[in-house]
Each structure stands twice: as C-alpha cells, then as structure tokens.
Amino acid sequence: MIRLVLGAAALLLLAACETPDPTYRDLDHMGRDYQRDSQATATPQNAEQATAADTCHASHFRSLMGTPASAIDRSTLPPRTRIITPGMMVTQDFSPERLNIRVAPDGKVAAIECF
C-alpha cells in the first residue's frame, strides 16, 4: 500500500514538471528575440559597417594616418593586408577581416579600413 502511495506521489510530481506547449504569442516573442539578437551580432555587409565594428583591428593602426606609405613596416601588418595606392586595381571581394590602407596621391596614408 505504501509503495502505491509513493508511486502515485512520484507520478504527480513528475506530471507537475511538464512544461505546457508554447502559444502563438510565445512563439512570436521568441521569433522577435531571435531576430533582434541575430541582427545585433550580424556580420558586416559593407566596408563602413566592418570598419565601424573594427573587424580587422584597424584601430590598432590609426597611428599610420598621415605617414608616408613608404615608411610602413609591412612585417608589423596582419596577413592579407592591402596597401592601396591611387589607380591601383584591387579585387572587389568583401572580406571584413582584411585590413586595407589607402594611400593618397601625395603618398601619405589617407584611410585605414576593413573590407
């Protein structure tokens, strides 16, 4: 008899732990939360977004602004860094992790961007 009572009590406790099925309102809130979270951590889609997010660590190289491009020590730059001079042809593939150093016609660093 005691086993039957203990078994029934255990069954009632387990039944109380069951979570109800989500309602449409719950699913809507979950979807909105997911969209908001995924947009906040989204991969940059253009150079402006990538540079603003500092995906290529361009902020570490801001000290190069205004210096002659010929004075840049390439061994201190990350792999795949491009030094883009006026009139230079570059590929248009977008890589937010790639550091790009743009050189002005006077030979000095004009911009440091991620793309």
Q: What is the pLDDT of residue 38?
A: 59
Q: How far apart are CA 58 and CA 43, in angstroms?
A: 16
Burial category of 9 from C-beta neighbours within 10 Å (exposed 0-12, middle 13-18, buried 19 and up): exposed
Mean pLDDT by 10 residues, the chain (115 residues): 72 66 73 66 87 96 97 96 97 95 98 97
Q: What is the pLDDT of residue 39?
A: 57
Give residue 78's pLDDT: 96
Distance between CA atoms of 59 and 74, rounded to whole angstroms? 17
pLDDT at res. 63:
96
Domain boundaries, the chain: 47-114
CATH 3.30.10.10: does it fit domain 47-114? yes
Q: Is 8 helix (H, G, I), strand (E, B) or coil?
A: helix
